Structure 1
Amino acid sequence: MRLRTIVALALTYALLGLLMNSVGVVILQSIRHFDVTKVTASTLEACKDLSVVAASFLLATRVAAFGYRRALIGVLAVMAVVCFAASFSTGFVAMQALFVAIGLGFGVAKVATYSTIGLLAKDQADHASLTGSIEGVFMLGVLGGAWLFGWFIAQDGSSTDWLGVYRLIAGLCLAAALLWFTVKLDESAAEPDEARAGWGEMLKLAMLPSTIAILIGLFLYVLIEQGLGTWLPTFNSEVLHLPASTSVQMASIYVAALALGRLVSGVVLRRIDWLPVLLACLAAVAVLVVAMLPLARGVEPASEPGWRNAPLLAFTFPLIGFFLAPIYPTICSVALSAMPKRQHPTLVGLIVIFSALGGTIGSMITGFLFQTLPGEHAFYFVLLPAALIALLLVKIRRNQSLTKQHA
């Protein structure tokens, strides 16, 4: 039964990862088929992320009382309905409504997922291993989604055929919901305080100087990661002159680099202190941006565009994800390990909120830059938040040292 629960949890999280990170693809398709501007298309990120914020702030403290298993079944059922409806949409407003629903569902499901992991874990080591496995499957969902959407776009004979992907996703969500009906989850061990945790405790925690540094650092990181990931398909299409389907598929290199970077960092951080590792990663990100983006100037469309004839930059620039990857989970780990366990759910709620805000603002900034600047210049914005994160990491380390001295 434990294995079946883990499989159901992983499948649910992978499907949500696929939906949450399809926003870049849908932005590209909305620009092409719904005749909207880049700035307007970037509002899809806001629809998704602000809904996550709303769910985290308004519903996160109620999920335990409702039941984790029932919450996940409910989210999957809603996703099945909205995805099926989206497959028949004919306008951009329908896409905005879809991502509002996806954001609300993900906000609830993330709380339920992490809480369920706590119920399943046998000890601290098992908790870390299970969390890593679930997050790994999440990344596989993101990666698989890029190829799935790319295939449907390649088969698109009209402006709406690609929306058929949502009928397939609706079926998968329904199958995952049915799988949960075969699972028995003992939720009696859930902490009562977790169910009663309120907004007041969240606000008090958010006002602590150490928490502020953590949350700003995470906000800036997600601003970078989502800004790059959301607009990379558009960069590939408009700057590197690749076909839409190839642009989407090649953006999956970025996701694969993120996944590999997190796996490698898990080994490296066992041997080396986290601060020099993250500072080195940020330096590598800056070097890649400065060295690689000039190669985008003067790229001409290939006579037979595709993977074989894609510019070198289409393969190398997404590797920036490898160096970005360790930053987010490491900052989260440092923050949570310094907090009493009773405050972990509250801090996770704050992390989700600030991450969502960072994703929204990052996408909108990048969309504005693509709209007003030549496309090859838009991604230079990464350099400023990367420098600010480096300064915040030093501040976080100082706070960590002071806490240990007073302990």
Structure 2
Amino acid sequence: MMSKQTNISLPLKLTFFIFSMVLNCMGIVILQLSEEKITYDKLGFLESFKDIPIAIFSLFAVNFISRFGTKKSLIFALMLVGICLLFLPFVKAFWFYKLWFAIIGTCFAIGKICVYGIIRNNMTEEKSLAKTMNSVEASYMIGTFSVNTGFGWLISSQFGEYWKFGFMFISLVSFFTVYLFAKNKIAEPQNKTTTILPDLSGFGKKIFILFFAVSFFIIFIEQSFNSWLPAFYKDHLKVNSFFALQASSFLALFSYTGRTITSKIIQRFQLSNYFMVCVSMIIVLLIVISGIQFYSSENAKILLFLFPIIGLFLAPLYPVINSKMIAKIDKEKINAFTSLIVSVSSISSSINSIAISVLFKNQILTYYSLYILGAVLMVFVLAYSYFKISAEKI
């Protein structure tokens, strides 16, 4: 995968695979804790304990990574995740989930900045970078699929009460990834950051503001599915927990397919055109879904199959828009830029989770698809403006 360090491909993919599972287990946690009579408003704020530490620490993570090095920082983050996963099955208090997600979020901030930095330092051409990012980010979708499928089977089995012990598998994968990183040499960037906060000068231009706005709403949309789709299936479509999780797994499977196909064919197309076609397809699907919800409710079960198809077109958006901008960023500023991406993403995720919990609390889930459609339309308008000026030199 990498032009200079092909042997680092597997641990990079495993890193995203691990963080995908621990971040996207939020949907499982919400589903399980809601059955323990924990209210949706409390569960809606649970995501903030993951996202706010990501938003805050990502700005300081650049200094941390620069001081200790990319390799050591990645190993530290993965080790801490692995240890936290070992403790989770033995603690029942709700407050521990808040602490657990805060630690996971902090480690993710470190991990994502390191991974993006490694990719940028080994790729220069825009389409090659897009291909690489889609390939690595595809493993993120495999993690989402695996965590929903695996926990779905575990929860529905005779050992369902021990569902939290499934996190021990992720812990083992974390320790294995640490072993792989320890074996390999990783080229470290030459620049060293000495300030507490990264140098964010130059990121206030219109093109950056538009980029971050597009990223904000893409994450807004993704989180609407990743964390809340199982609960939507169960509460609104009245399916059991097992089927709710399996149906959500198909969203991840289609998302993986979307990113894998994109990594194979992206060099044949202009990035902006590819992006806008994907957004347009999502709009069409959501209009069809909304029509079924409002005018053909007796056929609502077909939504179990329509929602996952959205993943085919949604998944490529984030890697494509990121790769187009990252290719323009100087290598010396890539960590600072990635820290802003992580911050914006986490803020979006937190705001969305609180907002969407209101839909669940007030049982107005008929508007679930319209809520998401509004965010997709924002992406379409903002992305059109972004691509229009993206030819400008940064």
The answer to whether the superposition gives a TM-score over 0.5 is yes
Change (3 A) 1:272 1:4: closer
Partner Cα distance (1:357, 1:143) in 2: 24
1:276-334, Cα deviation, whole Å (9 max, x unpaired) = 4333332322222221244357878xxxxxxxxx9322112221122222322222122
What is residue 191 of structure 2 aligned with on the other side? 192
- Pick one of 59, 62, 72 that aligns with 2:61: 59
Superposed CA RMSD in Å reads: 2.8
Shift of residue 366 of structure 1? Answer: 1.4
Contact 2:82–2:174 (Cα < 8 Å) also in 1: yes
What is residue 320 of structure 1 aligned with on the other side? 310
What is residue 337 of structure 2 aligned with on the other side? 347
Change (3 A) 1:77 1:273: closer
Superposition TM-score, scaled by structure 2 size? 0.89
Q: Which moved more, 1:210-219 or 1:283-292?
A: 283-292
- Pick one of 127, 131, 136 that aligns with 1:134: 136
What is residue 176 of structure 2 aligned with on the other side? 175
What is residue 334 of structure 1 aligned with on the other side? 324
- Pick one of 138, 149, 152 that aligns with 1:150: 152
1:236-264, Cα deviation, whole Å (9 max, x unpaired) = 11112211122112101111222222233
What is residue 164 of structure 1 aligned with on the other side? 165
Shift of residue 106 of structure 1? Answer: 0.7
SS of equivalent residue, structure 1 residue 201: coil
Contact 2:135–2:260 (Cα < 8 Å) also in 1: no
1:347-400, Cα deviation, whole Å (9 max, x unpaired) = 222111111111111222111112224323223111222222222122212322
Contact 2:120–2:326 (Cα < 8 Å) also in 1: no
Shift of residue 141 of structure 1? Answer: 1.8
Contact 1:279–1:390 (Cα < 8 Å) also in 2: yes
SS of equivalent residue, structure 1 residue 95: helix
Partner Cα distance (1:172, 1:277) in 2: 34
- Pick one of 347, 358, 368 that aligns with 2:348: 358
Contact 2:130–2:266 (Cα < 8 Å) also in 1: no
Query: Does the alignment pair 1:211 with 2:202?
Result: no
1:163-215, Cα deviation, whole Å (9 max, x unpaired) = 1112232233233333433x14144x52215x44763622x333222111110
Counterparts of residues 1-150 of structure 1 (less than 5 Å): 4-33=7-36, 35-117=37-119, 121=122, 130-150=132-152
Partner Cα distance (2:120, 2:257) in 1: 25
Partner Cα distance (1:150, 1:109) in 2: 27
Shift of residue 17 of structure 1? Answer: 1.4
1:1-46, Cα deviation, whole Å (9 max, x unpaired) = 956543333323311211111111111111112x211121122221
Contact 2:133–2:319 (Cα < 8 Å) also in 1: no
Q: Which moved more, 1:147-156 or 1:219-228?
A: 147-156
Q: Which moved more, 1:122-131 or 1:67-76?
A: 122-131
Partner Cα distance (2:249, 2:17) in 1: 15
Change (3 A) 1:152 1:381: same
SS of equivalent residue, structure 1 residue 205: coil
Gaps of 5+ in 2: none
Query: Does the alignment pair 1:242 with 2:233?
Result: no
Partner Cα distance (1:186, 1:131) in 2: 18
What is residue 271 of structure 2 aligned with on the other side? 274
Superposition TM-score, scaled by structure 1 size? 0.86
SS of equivalent residue, structure 1 residue 270: helix
Contact 2:248–2:308 (Cα < 8 Å) also in 1: yes
Contact 2:207–2:389 (Cα < 8 Å) also in 1: yes
Q: Which moved more, 1:278-287 or 1:143-152?
A: 278-287
Contact 2:44–2:357 (Cα < 8 Å) also in 1: yes
Q: Which moved more, 1:385-394 or 1:228-237?
A: 385-394
Shift of residue 269 of structure 1? Answer: 4.2
Change (3 A) 1:269 1:184: closer
Change (3 A) 1:122 1:58: closer
Which amino acid in structure 1 is aligned with residue 199 of structure 2?
E
SS of equivalent residue, structure 1 residue 241: coil
For CA contacts below 8 A with separation 6 or more, give which structure has more relative contact order: 2
What is residue 395 of structure 1 aligned with on the other side? 385
Partner Cα distance (1:132, 1:392) in 2: 22
Change (3 A) 1:325 1:169: closer
Contact 2:62–2:198 (Cα < 8 Å) also in 1: no
Partner Cα distance (1:380, 1:175) in 2: 42
Partner Cα distance (1:230, 1:169) in 2: 18
What is residue 201 of structure 1 aligned with on the other side? 199
Partner Cα distance (2:272, 2:5) in 1: 37
SS of equivalent residue, structure 2 residue 189: coil
Contact 2:25–2:148 (Cα < 8 Å) also in 1: yes
Shift of residue 104 of structure 1? Answer: 0.6
Contact 2:220–2:352 (Cα < 8 Å) also in 1: yes
Partner Cα distance (2:186, 2:280) in 1: 46
Shift of residue 131 of structure 1? Answer: 3.9
Change (3 A) 1:252 1:294: same
Contact 1:366–1:379 (Cα < 8 Å) also in 2: no
Identity %: 22
Change (3 A) 1:229 1:293: farther
